[in-house]
Amino acid sequence: MTAPVKLQNHQFVLYASIFGNYRNEEQGLGEQLERFNKYDVALFLFTDSKTISNITGWNVVRMESGESVHGIPAHRVCIKELKFVGHETIRNYRYRIHVDTYTGQLKRLHTALQNGLLDYVRCHPSKALFVEKHPLRTTIEQEVNTLKRSAALQPRATLNKWDAHLKPMYSTLNRVHLPALWFWVLDTRHDSFVHKWASIYDTLLEWGIWRDQIVYSYALKNVHGEVEHIDHNATMACPDTGQMDV
């Protein structure tokens, strides 16, 4: 880990990860991440990169990606664990914001923050997860069927086994709206939800699944009432009757 940035008494932590640099995400990443320095959040980047230099305002945590598990590439295993289980360096923060390190996703989160995301989250303490709906598909079944056309995104043999396991449950699981997991906010005071959220990682490893969208509805089917769907382009004001949770 680089020399740590002095942290304020933040409730929110924003974190991202980059392992392998398979899509050349490192290019221009520092400049993009520094745009978030103006918000009242602690900032962490987890990476196996030896070339990323210090990023102003960010704590860069260097770690090895480990080994592959049940056919899931090692870098994916590491990223999924960070997303759904977290890391010891961020466990004292109440609200976790995760964002993918692609330009479009970073821009979406930046817009959401400009539109009042932090206050909106504090105004809805009964909700555990704040996430956008998937722009193209609404159900887990649709997502599974889409992945059947792309073995590069999910090996077909594993997908077929998962599809067969889900078939008796699709009528129930399809009631859970498919999310776009490019960024989200998790309120860790919802213990039961956080436990089920972490179970996404366990299920991914158990079944050899690469794509978390096809596990989300399965893991959260009994707690999806605690999910608040947001729109990064919309102004996110506190409701007139709401009270900000501090």
Task: Give the domain ranges of the chain.
Answer: 132-230
Q: Which helix (H) or strand (E) holds 229?
A: strand 227-230
pLDDT in tens, 19-71: 876 666 777 899 999 999 999 999 999 999 888 878 999 999 999 988 999 99
User: How many C-beta atoms lie closer than 10 Å to residue 89's C-beta?
Assistant: 16
| SS3 label, residue 27 | coil
pLDDT in tens, the chain (246 residues): 554 544 456 899 999 999 876 666 777 899 999 999 999 999 999 999 888 878 999 999 999 988 999 999 999 999 999 999 999 999 999 999 999 999 999 999 999 999 999 999 999 999 999 999 999 999 999 999 999 999 889 999 999 999 999 999 999 999 999 999 999 999 999 999 999 999 999 999 999 999 999 999 999 999 999 999 999 999 998 876 556 675
Contact in structure between 21 and 48 (CB atoms under 8 Å): no
Spatial strand order of the sheet with 41-47 comes to 59-62, 41-47, 12-18, 95-99, 179-187, 129-133, 227-230
Contact in structure between 226 and 162 (CB atoms under 8 Å): no
d(CA 211, CA 216): 9
d(CA 39, CA 102): 20
